[in-house]
Amino acid sequence: MTVQPGEIHGLVGQNGSGKTTLVKLLSGYHAPDSGGEVQVDGAPVGLPVRPAELHRLGMSVVHQDLGLLDDFTVVENVRIGAFRRRRLTRSIRWDGERQLAREALQHLGHEIDPNARVRDLLPADRATVAIARALQHHHPGRGVIMFDESSRALPRDSLEHFHALIREVAGRGGSVLLVSHQLEEVLSVADRVTVLRDGVVVASGTPTSELDEHELIRLMLGYELDSRAPARAAVTRDGREPAARARGVCGRLVDGVTLEIGSSEIVGVTGLMGSGFEELPYLLGGAHPAQAGELTVGGRRIDLATACPRDLVDAGVALVPERRDAQGLSLSMSLLENVTLPRVRVHGSPGRLGFGWQREEADWVIRELGVRPPAPGMTVGNLSGGNQQKVMLGKWLRGDPRLLVLHEPTRAVDVAARRDLMAVIFRVATSGSGVLVAGMDANELQSMCDRVLIMRDGRIEEELRGAAVTVEGVVNAVYRNHSNGHAAVREGVA
């Protein structure tokens, strides 16, 4: 595979096809088998790549999990490895460091408090910190910057800044390797694209001008994919109790949300970052304590300000969070253990588990969601990012929840898996569950939701129903009253 100077090179492939492994080989995290060769700017690089060499070679990387130090501040994360020290005392000049970090972030069009702890940041801000770090270590005109799905948490407006920045890097003669499952993004931003299938290059540096999405999907999968959304069985909801009712929910961003989700109904909730749509799933799922509010599910009324996650699980609420590493999975446990964890209490005491049901549930998840490799005993941390996402979804889907709450459910998965996932979510809805999908992807909302709620300043401000749920309708509603999508320019709330 050759990445030219001055080009943005896309790298695509199904979940588990080897994209991250390749990036980790190039950044010295993995040692390659013998026989390969790597050259940067014409000079051979000793293998395995020594991480300490990366800076000199002009190589930097934003890993799929971003590689941030959660307990450290923004300035520490951005500037780590590059701190400037006073000559005599060798102490770090923090004022200067904060200024440099601030500038690096502003380049990406973001204001983030340099003193904030990274653990407390929203996903989009975390991504920005990681990207700012990689960009600032880059030597203009040399080397290569690798982004492993780093931009997927960025909202539309920040994404434009990001694309402008990588174009600038390429414009000065540097190279960019862009790993992404957003094929639209790859086709519009990258000059050429390399496709991996099962660890093998099946298309090498094909110019994106010669490709369309359909063809790119065919290269990735090796077969034609039905590009229509999967079928959803019609159900009559007349006279059925709603699956869930939430009243007066307040949190850090959410400011008094009341909503009802019908049985078999799929409701979307979206908005700008900070509008509260991204917090709502965690308040309803009991992962973050609410300041106020109640949720009625399956005849039980739960006070969200005092409830613990287990109360919600017992009532039939399943939360699928966005960040599988921190919130959704135990990476050191096996696939089977992760999948069955929520139901261990129902099935017996830890001493007498009886593995039959566990094996059956794990096989169900592997089959329904196409987890690869299909190995129930595999340590989840060794699965590829997208396959981890499938395990996390499967873990909760299997439990027949009354209310299924999803945050960005298909972000890390490939086009084929996205379709499988959608089909499973549809089936869960058809069986009578209510589904709430919080996310920014207007395409996803359009193809899944009966209704979409638009939040602004912590409140639900607008509702799109039925035929009004289109990509354009959602985007327009989200960006209404916001000049270039940035911080609130409010012209009176509707």
Ligand X SMILES: Nc1ncnc2c1ncn2[C@@H]1O[C@H](COP(=O)(O)OP(=O)(O)OP(=O)(O)O)[C@@H](O)[C@H]1O
Which residues bind to ligand X, rule: CB under 6 A? 13, 15-21, 64, 372-373, 382-387
Of residues 114 and 385, the one with the C-beta less far from Mg ion:
385
Choice between 19 and 372, CB closer to Mg ion: 19
Report angle CA 366, 370, 372 to the nearest 5 degrees: 80
* Interface of this chain with Mg ion, residues 355 to 414, rule: CB under 5 A: 385
d(CA 77, CA 67): 9
> With 0-12 CB in 10 A as exposed, 13-18 as middle and 19+ as buried, what is 90?
exposed
10 sits near Mg ion (criterion: CB under 5 A): no
* Residue 20 touching Mg ion (CB under 5 A): yes
Nearer to Mg ion (CB atom), residue 45 or residue 383: 383
Determine, following the binding rule CB under 5 A, whether residue 64 of this chain makes contact with Mg ion.
yes
418 binds, among ligand X, Mg ion, none (CB under 5 to 8 A by kind): none
Identity of the residue, 11 or 216, whose beta carbon is nearer to Mg ion in the bound complex: 11
d(CA 166, CA 188): 13
Query: What is the smallest separation between the CB atom of 17 and Mg ion, expressed in angstroms?
Result: 9
What is the closest distance, in whole angstroms, from the C-beta atom of residue 219 to Mg ion in the complex? Answer: 18
Long-range pairs of 304-313 with CB within 8 A, sequence gap ≥ 24: 304/246, 304/249, 309/285, 310/286, 311/286, 312/284, 312/285, 312/286, 313/286, 313/342
Whichever of 358 and 388 has its CB closer to Mg ion, that residue is 388
Least distance (Å) from ligand X to the CB of residue 412?
6
Q: For Cα atoms 185, 190, 192, give the angle at the middle one, nearest 5 degrees.
A: 130
Answer with the entry of Mg ion, ligand X, none that 18 interacts with (C-beta below 5 to 8 A by kind): ligand X
Q: Which residues pair with 59 in a beta bridge?
A: 144
Q: Rounded to whole angstroms, how far apart are CA atoms 387 and 491?
A: 44
Is the CB of residue 194 less than 8 Å from the CB of residue 201?
yes
Question: Which of Mg ion, ligand X, none does residue 433 bind to, with CB < 5 to 8 Å depending on kind?
Answer: none
Q: Are the C-beta atoms of 442 and 479 separated by less than 8 Å?
A: no
Q: How far is the CB of 13 from ligand X (least distance, A)?
A: 5
Stretch that binds Mg ion, among 12-20, 34-42, 372-380, 410-418 (CB under 5 A): 12-20
Q: Measured from the CB atom, is 383 or 474 closer to ligand X?
A: 383
Amino acid identity at 55? H
Residues at the site binding Mg ion, with contacts judged by CB under 5 A: 19-20, 64, 385
